[in-house]
Amino acid sequence: MAERLTRPEWEARRAAHESRVDAWTAGHRARAGRGEPHPVEDFLFTYYSQRPSRLRRWSPGVGVVLAERPVVAPWVAADGGAVLGPVPPRVAATAGFVAELLSRTASRPAQLGCFGMHEWAMVHGGGQRHSAVPLRLGQARTDAVIEELGVRCSHFDAFRFFTPTARPLNVLQPTRESQVSLEQPGCLHASMDLYKWAYKLSPWVPSELVADCFDLARRVRELDMRASPYDLSGWGYEPVPVETPQGRARYAEQQRAFSREAAPLRRRLLAAAAQLARPGS
């Protein structure tokens, strides 16, 4: 039997979700109105395709009847209200891929020896992505650090932004086809991508889950950039200097903490994706 929420119940959940999202996106929305870029926070709305307005939209996910809710596609009439209609084939196919990816990722031990060198590999040899942000160590020393430490990146969507000179320095050569085989739970980008996979399955997964994944992604992104070669002091970010042994130890400690925090979110999203991938969801 489908869960049923009264109008006051679902309106309260919707309002709580909207308030939570508004607090997170207020700075980005204000800066966007002034045309001011932000090298850390904008990533969640430029690299990822979900706009703040879409993140703000609330849904309880599949199988929940909302009493007195207007019936507008993809919602269909049910029990004096509305429920999400059948999962479209394209969403079911995406859910199948997500379920396999997350299951395979969760089955592997977390690897914590990359030290955030993926961001350094994106500027090796002068290929700076954030042209308005200076490098902390200058180009020559930045190149020397990555050449000394090497690169151990397993994440294809980071690797594809490596400069041509940095690609051969990586111990792996990830491809889209090998993504399911290589993804591992210690990777910061794998943790951030939980948000991507969650919103790609919206509105058929609960918006609270999408928001929880976004909350993790925004905090992981901060560590990602604090450990990068960029000088972000002008934006108030203290560096995690991974070019030093102490910085690498700090990075690995925080990386481990985020990996542990991501694990229950991965399980929740895996369960939701597996349900959506089943025929008749």
In tens, the pLDDT along 181-232 reads 999 999 999 999 999 999 999 999 999 999 999 999 999 999 999 999 999 9
Q: Does this model's pTM top 0.85?
A: yes
**Mean pLDDT, 10 residues at a time, over the chain (281 residues)?**
91 98 95 91 91 96 96 94 95 97 97 96 84 91 96 96 96 95 97 98 98 98 97 95 98 97 98 90 60
d(CA 257, CA 243): 21
Closest CA to 211 of 201, 198, 220: 198
The residue with tokens 């450990």 is 227
User: What was the pLDDT predicted at 280?
Assistant: 63
Secondary structure letter of residue 76 according to DSSP: E
Q: Is the backbone of residue 23 left (phi > 0), alpha (psi -120 to 50) or beta?
A: alpha
| Residue 175 DSSP class | -
Compute CA distances 41 → 32, 166, 223, 236, whole Å. 11, 25, 12, 12
CB 171 within 8 A of CB 149: no
Query: Cβ atoms within 10 A of the Cβ of 74, count?
Result: 15
- Angle among Cα 260, 265, 268 to the nearest 5 degrees reads 135
37: phi then psi, degrees, rounded to nearest 5: -75, 155
CB 198 within 8 A of CB 210: yes
Residues 6+ positions from 236 with CB-CB distance below 8 Å: none
Give the residue numbers spanning the domain of 231. Answer: 3-277
User: What whole-number distance in Å separates Cα of residue 205 and Cα of residue 61?
Assistant: 4
Cα dist. 40→46, 48, 218, 236, 267 in Å?
Answer: 11, 13, 9, 11, 27
Q: 81 pairs with which residues across the strands?
A: 67, 78
Residue-wise pLDDT tens digits, 75-106: 999 989 999 999 999 999 999 999 999 999 99
- The number of distinct structural domains making up the chain is 1
